[in-house]
Homo-oligomer: A and B are copies of this chain.
Amino acid sequence: MIIDCHGHYTTAPKALQVWRDAQIAALKDPARAAAQGTVSITDDEIRESLEGAQLKFQRERGSDVTIFSPRASAMAHHIGDATTSLHWSQHCNDLIHRVCTLYPDNFVGVCQLPQSPGVPPATCIGELRRCVDELGFIGCNLNPDPSGGHWTAPPLTDRSWYPLYEAMVELDVPAMVHVSSSCNANFHATGAHYINADTTAFMQFLTADLFKDLPALRFIIPHGGGAVPYHWGRYRGLAQDLKRPPLGELIRDNVFFDTCVYHQAGIDLLLKIVPADNILFGSEMVGAVRGIDPETGHYFDDTKRYIDKAALNDQDRRKIFEENARKVYPRINRKLTVGAAARGY
């Protein structure tokens, strides 16, 4: 089985964005109370949004299940307040739940959290519990910069995050560290802000004792770990100079990288440098880069092809394609078993 740990619902039916646009417009009118309202999308619209995109690519590329979450760039936690983010997150998460219910063999849910700048992360616990306990989700996306490129929140190792982390540990769900869009003109969202956030989070983890405090806490750093594998020597050297544990020890049970690196040489470096136990297959399709690489004739984000071509033994390949996802997102095991049983496999 091949589990893609990194997919967003970037192709959601237009009604979702129409609702969001109306919500944002209403923020300008202080007389209007924030309203949850409804998003009217039919099952057929959901099917249509996926059949020609994520489902088609799963079939064509040969992956089985996608760990699926709301569109990351649309989370935009910097807009409005905590209620704004809660209403928006609930709609986005409910829609992911409908996707997973319609296609239980193809998608397993991960939730968007209703973060808001300056608001304690503990306020997100309710929505996390709802998504895990009621909707059957298996993880969350955690935004280390709810301000959208101004980086006004404390580092991920700050104790203000701990109540949320304790809930994650209790529920046995990991978080993918994933920023959203940037409202800072310096940072292109998918070309700079995403990658910078990955690098930033890793260095925060390196310099603090977060995983001593919470040994069962697990993070996936997407986009191949940002700049980290390329600069692995720098990070090994910094860890040594700072008298921190060796990187292998630091990340072993707590920090994992996905394979969203869109060329063979990058994937080869990742697989060579990072222990196979800490790599999860991911593609982010349909996501940041949508074109076909003229050098290969294949989609840039068809990351399975790079891994197929890489020098990997069968055991490591199985870990990366399946076993590590089952280890890091353990709730997926029950989903896949129940799904298979229900369909008589």
Using CB atoms and an 8 Å cutoff, list the residues of chain A in contact with chain B.
144-145, 149-151, 153-155, 158, 184-188, 190-192, 195-196, 199-200, 203-204, 206-207, 223-224, 226-227, 229-238, 240-241, 261-263, 265-266, 268-269, 272-273, 288-291, 293-295, 300-301
Contact = CB atoms under 8 A, between A and B. Distances in A.
B203 A144 contact: no
B261 A231 contact: yes
18 contacts: A151-B186, A190-B238, A192-B200, A195-B227, A196-B199, A196-B227, A223-B231, A223-B234, A230-B261, A231-B262, A232-B263, A233-B300, A234-B289, A237-B288, A237-B290, A237-B293, A237-B301, A241-B291
A186 B200 contact: yes
A161 to B, nearest CB: 12
Contact of A151 (B187, B203, B294): B187
A230 B238 contact: no
A75 to B, nearest CB: 18
A244 to B, nearest CB: 11
Nearest to A273: B265
Contacts of A265: 232, 269, 272-273
Work out how many copies of this chain go into the complex.
2
A223 B233 CA distance: 12
B261 A237 contact: no
A205 B288 CA distance: 18
A305 to B, nearest CB: 11
Closest 10 CB pairs of A and B: A233-B263, A233-B262, A237-B289, A227-B227, A230-B230, A237-B300, A191-B203, A196-B196, A192-B203, A188-B203
Given A232-B265, A238-B191, A261-B231, A155 B289 contact: no
A233 B150 contact: no
A199 B203 contact: no
A294 B261 CA distance: 28
A143 B212 CA distance: 36
Given A224-B230, A263-B232, A199 B195 contact: yes
A333 to B, nearest CB: 32
Contacts of A155: 185-186
